[in-house]
A and B are shown apart, each in its own frame.
Chain A
Amino acid sequence: MLLKIRLAHSADNSNVEANIVELNSKHVEDFRSVWMNLLRQFQQEDKYWDLMIKLRMIENNDNYEGYAVEYQEQTEGLLLIETQMHGSQISSGKRLIYIYYVATAPWNREVIQRPPKLRGVGTSLLLFTRSRSLELGYEGRVGLHSLPGYEKFYDNRGMLDLGSDPDYEDLVYFEYGAWRQRLQGTGESQV
């Protein structure tokens, strides 16, 4: 699988083409050998050991899928989703894609590099989950628990804030409902 996406290059405000691809061993190795050193150095929230386990879960479970954003052969973002076990909190009985992990490369974070190299990586991965949800027949439904401090991003991206979840360490749960496309010129929308 290879999906072309467009990202913003911070240095000159230009747009660049990148790809979303299925996660492979190169991405895991990039995370281990390149990302981890930088993340440790800057004490970012990502839990290294935990993610290594999560990434390896994909190999052993059909219901987990992993993807990466690649630009000029570098891993710019990572995504891990679960596709069969989670249900919507908005529409009872409807399945959704649950985001287990999503992250941008350290050099795309302002706390590590200013200005960050690329912008739009997180947005691309979030939109991709909606697209994957449509493919799986889940009507674009996506859920996630945001880590503290990042809630405003998901709020800003139009996800519904369903409040802190006591069973998930009080992390705030966000959900996208069904994707609705407005039919051009009619003002009506369809799922």
Chain B
Amino acid sequence: MSKQQEINYTVSNPMDLLFDDNYLEEAVAAEALVGGNIGVGLDWEHDMGELLSNLPLVGRLTTLRVSLNREARQLIETWNLGIGTKIATTTARIHIKQRLQSPTPEVEQHLQTVLLQDDLYNEEFIRDQEVLRSLLKVLLTESDWQGIASVAAEEIRKQIMCQCSVTEVITV
């Protein structure tokens, strides 16, 4: 089923496609390709305890997480780390998730404050950079940043060694 085929259907309501034999047959075949599994979306993987006992805030926490991921990525991208950028961003993301899942009392207090600011949660991402930067500051510890620096440095080291070997500039 290609996109082009779909827009050529003459029905006005997408649900009517289910009563088109050809469409249903193609759809069933497409589902079979993935064994009926069609999972989507970010998850948190395990219980996050106290912070999420206030259920109305759960949706906001996901918004906050993707916003922090984006802010950290954009910040790291300005540091000109070259080939180390991607791994640094990925590692920052891992730390952000961990810190949100198991916040220290200090971080939890900051999180509660940010999660309760209604005006931040009108879109997919929080736009207030100041809020995000100040939260990143308390969320990611020095040891987290050391870890990020290490993996980025290692990536650059590997790239140098790989290039040396390709261009045969090392004499053994």
CA distance A26 to B93 in the complex (A): 36
Q: Of all chain B residues, which has the CB nearest A56? A: B55
Query: Is A127 in contact with B45, judged by CB distance below 8 angstroms?
Result: no
Query: Is B93 in contact with A3, judged by CB distance below 8 angstroms?
Result: no
| CB within 8 Å of A: which B1-44 residues | 1-3, 5-15, 17-19, 24, 27-28, 30-44
Q: Of all chain B residues, which has the CB nearest A63? A: B59
State the Cβ distance, A82 to closest chain B Cβ, in Å: 8
Q: Which residues of A contact B11 (CB under 8 A)?
A: 181
Which listed residue (A50, A51, A150) contacts B34, Cβ 8 A? A150
Query: Is A53 in contact with B55, judged by CB distance below 8 angstroms?
Result: yes
Chain A: how many interface residues by the 8 Å CB criterion? 77
Q: Which residues of A contact B9 (CB under 8 A)?
A: 181-182
Query: Is B59 in contact with A110, judged by CB distance below 8 angstroms?
Result: no
State the Cβ distance, A181 to closest chain B Cβ, in Å: 5
Q: Which of B62-70, B106-114, B141-149, B160-168 contacts A (4 or more CB under 8 A)?
A: B62-70
Query: Is B13 in contact with A131, judged by CB distance below 8 angstroms?
Result: yes
Query: Is B3 in contact with A181, judged by CB distance below 8 angstroms?
Result: no
Query: Is B12 in contact with A181, judged by CB distance below 8 angstroms?
Result: yes
Q: Of all chain A residues, which has the CB nearest B17? A: A127
State the Cβ distance, A72 to closest chain B Cβ, in Å: 18
State the Cβ distance, A182 to closest chain B Cβ, in Å: 5
Given the contacts A50-B44, A127-B18, A153-B31, A158 and B124 also touching, CB distance less than 8 Å: no
- Proximity string of chain B (72-103) to chain A, C-beta cutoff 8 Å, 1 when within and 0 when not: 01000000000000000110010000000000
State the Cβ distance, A90 to closest chain B Cβ, in Å: 12
Interface, chain A (partner B; CB < 8 A): 3, 5-6, 8, 15, 44-47, 49-51, 53-54, 56-57, 59-61, 63-64, 82, 85-87, 98-104, 108-111, 116, 119-124, 126-128, 130-131, 134, 140, 144-147, 149-150, 152-154, 156-160, 166-171, 179-184, 189
